[in-house]
């Protein structure tokens, strides 16, 4: 066979002259792509659309091309609002509110109270607060309704239902398992 007969039999597409070298590498890939596009166009298929012609992989877009002057769900969101919506979706709102009471105690109740009393535990709506002195414990017991109102304003109603305020604990003189009942140590030091 000679070169003129070999070309049409192989079905390589357009005929090339005898002095043209056979395409290699990228030229061969371009020729194959052009032939595939021509065959697809001849059969009536969309050509050159890339992923858009496949349909389900492309995300749905809104009719408007830009967000405009009003708020839109595509506008940038603050990290705090995203975290709040995530905690609502996952059911973490109660735990986040409890964490706010414990972690932001000074901001919630004020610096004056926070410098003299610290929250210790929060379980079942009961917040245990430890005061630095018995005088402060008494003062906080009298201010209990105001403190509950401040907490409710900061984290929401129902998170803290009751306060249990305790003063400082005295040292224990009980040592070991065995002890004698009585009033405890008295002026016996000398």
At 94 the pLDDT is 76
The pLDDT, as a whole number, for residue 130 is 93
Burial string for 52-83 (b: 16+ CB within 10 Å, else e) reads eeeeeeeeeeeeeeeeeeeeeeeeeeeeeeee
At residue 164, the pLDDT reads: 93
Per-residue pLDDT of the chain (190 residues; tens, 9 = 90+): 454 444 444 444 555 556 767 777 888 888 888 898 888 888 877 766 554 444 454 555 555 566 667 777 777 888 888 888 888 888 877 777 778 888 889 999 999 999 999 999 888 889 999 999 999 999 999 999 999 999 989 888 888 899 999 988 776 667 778 777 776 666 555 4
- Per-residue pLDDT at 73: 73
Edge-to-edge strands, sheet with 117-123: 117-123, 126-131, 162-166
Q: Which residues of 24-42 are buried (b: 16+ CB within 10 A; e: fewer)?
A: eeeeeeeeeeeeeeeeeee
Q: What DSSP element (H or E) covers 47? A: none
CA distance 103 to 132: 19
Structure tokens of 55? Answer: 């349909």
**109, 151 Cβ separation under 8 angstroms:** yes
Provide the pLDDT for residue 186: 64
Distances (CA, A) of 126 to 140, 148, 149, 151: 15, 11, 14, 12
Give the pLDDT score at 159.
Answer: 86
Helices (H), the chain: 3-10, 26-42, 79-90, 93-103, 105-109, 111-114, 134-142, 144-155
Q: Which residue's structure tokens are 């003129």?
A: 4
């Amino acid at each position: 066979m000679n070169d003129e007969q070999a070309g049409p039999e192989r079905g390589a597409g357009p005929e090339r002259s005898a002095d043209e070298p056979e395409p290699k590498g990228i030229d061969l890939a371009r020729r194959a792509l052009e032939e595939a596009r021509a065959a697809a166009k001849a059969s009536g298929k969309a050509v050159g659309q890339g992923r858009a012609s496949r349909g389900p992989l492309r995300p749905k877009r809104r009719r408007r091309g830009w967000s405009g002057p009003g708020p839109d769900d595509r506008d940038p969101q603050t990290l705090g609002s995203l975290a709040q919506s995530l905690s609502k979706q996952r059911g973490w709102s109660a735990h986040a509110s409890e964490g706010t009471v414990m972690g932001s105690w000074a901001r919630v109740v004020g610096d004056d109270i926070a410098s003299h009393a610290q929250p210790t535990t929060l379980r079942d709506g009961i917040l245990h607060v430890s005061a630095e002195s018995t005088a402060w414990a008494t003062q906080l017991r009298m201010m209990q309704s105001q403190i509950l109102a401040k907490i409710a304003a900061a984290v929401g109603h129902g998170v803290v239902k009751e306060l249990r305020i305790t003063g400082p604990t005295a040292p224990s003189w009980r040592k070991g398992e065995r002890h004698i009942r009585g009033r405890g140590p008295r002026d016996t030091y000398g």
